[in-house]
Amino acid sequence: MKIIVEKEGELLDYLYKTIDMPKKRIKQYLTHGAIYVNNNRTTQYNYKLIKGMNIVIATDSKSKKTLPFDILFEDEHIIVVNKPSGLLTIATAKEKDKTLYHIVREYLVSKDRNARIFIVHRLDKDTSGIVVLAKDEKTKNKLQENWNEYVSLREYVAVVHGHMKKESNRIVQRLKETKTNLVYVSRNEEGKEAITNYKVIKENDDYSMLSINIETGRKNQIRVALATLNNPIVGDKKYSNIKDKENRLYLHANRLKLYYPYLKKDILFETSTPNEFKKIMK
């Protein structure tokens, strides 16, 4: 079944309103990876649709090339993905191939041998969540040069040790970095300003779940900000002395609102809270 998108919306709602099929069955197709938008498989209920996109519902999707993580949005200029924790965004001296850049590039080249890919922004290796990549250098430059003006929301969800002294707070710090790549708070006017806002959304006996909004994009700024409050992020082996049994950093970039110049409007990209975050907060 092939559908041409006639108006903007979110994938699940659009299909439910457009085709004669129960919502439960549409969800099953999504869950089993049988729905493609512009030839790209997605399992996201809220995948952003724009006019002119092609949707295909297939019962046999085994032959299709896919990524090992979700595509949140894709058109001819950008691809937006949900990066897993533990994956580098770009290569380092020690790791060349197991990176987000390499995996997405190989995926695109499998469909078009002339495909190119450019990193627009990064997430730490241990942080999961939304990453935007460009398919051409012009788009990459346009987004990077105007990033602070184009991005109006950078929201994260985190699980930290203990209870916060304040239900919400705005943390303003100046950060510097050591030669060993450790970020720390400068006690004078040196360093780069970092502004981190948080709000408590849930607590249990041991942990707190926070919604975090950053006004600046400094390296490790969320991890440093919470560690200085004596509420380090669960699984943070770099800025916490607490020995966690958890095998990942409990920090996830879950919402990004970006002005998209090709559409001349803001697009809000969203992901759900990782299941392990929900489990630890039970």
181 shares its domain with 198: yes
Question: What number of other Cβ atoms are within 10 A of residue 221's Cβ?
Answer: 22
87 shares its domain with 58: no
| pLDDT at 60 (0 to 100) | 55
| pLDDT at 63 (0 to 100) | 42
| pLDDT at 65 (0 to 100) | 61
Does 181 map to a domain? Answer: yes
Q: Which residue shows structure tokens 């930290």?
A: 160
156 shares its domain with 247: yes
| Of 76, 1, 10, 69, nearest in space to 38 by CA | 76
Does 161 map to a domain? Answer: yes
Does 212 map to a domain? Answer: yes
For β-strands 54-57 and 2-4, DSSP reports them as antiparallel
d(CA 151, CA 163): 30
Does 108 map to a domain? Answer: yes
Segments forming the whole domain that contains residue 32: 1-63
Phi, psi of 174 (to 5 degrees): -115, 125
Phi, psi of 188 (to 5 degrees): -125, -160
14 shares its domain with 73: no
115 shares its domain with 158: no
Question: How many folded domains does the chain comprise?
Answer: 3
Tokens representing residue 250 in the block: 């409990």
Q: Looking at 126, 145, 164, which one is the last position of a domain?
A: 145
Long-range contacts at 72-76 (CB < 8 A, ≥ 24 apart): 72/42, 72/44, 72/47, 72/48, 72/130, 72/269, 72/270, 72/271, 73/47, 73/48, 73/267, 73/269, 74/37, 74/38, 74/40, 75/38, 75/50, 75/262, 76/135
156 shares its domain with 246: yes
161 shares its domain with 233: yes
48 shares its domain with 134: no
Is 266 an annotated catalytic residue?
no
51 shares its domain with 105: no
Q: Looking at 14, 38, 63, which one is the last position of a domain?
A: 63
Q: Looking at 48, 63, 78, which one is the last position of a domain?
A: 63
Task: Let me know: does 270 contact 46? Beta carbons within 8 Å.
Answer: yes
Which sign does the torsion angle of CA 21, 24, 30, 33 carry?
A: negative
110 shares its domain with 54: no
Interval 88-106: pLDDT, tens: 999 877 777 789 999 999 8
Does 262 map to a domain? Answer: no
Does 218 map to a domain? Answer: yes
Does 272 map to a domain? Answer: no
- Which member of 60, 124, 136, 244 is catalytic? 124
The CATH number given to whatever domain includes residue 231 is: 3.30.2350.10
Question: What number of other Cβ atoms are within 10 A of residue 23's Cβ?
Answer: 13
pLDDT tens string, the chain, 282 residues long: the values are: 889 999 999 999 999 999 988 898 898 888 777 898 988 888 889 999 999 999 998 755 444 567 889 999 999 999 999 999 999 999 877 777 789 999 999 889 888 889 999 999 999 999 999 999 999 999 999 999 999 999 999 999 999 999 999 999 999 999 999 999 899 999 888 899 999 999 999 999 999 999 999 999 999 999 999 999 999 999 999 999 998 888 899 999 999 999 999 999 999 999 999 999 999 999
Does 268 map to a domain? Answer: no
124 shares its domain with 162: no
239 shares its domain with 172: yes
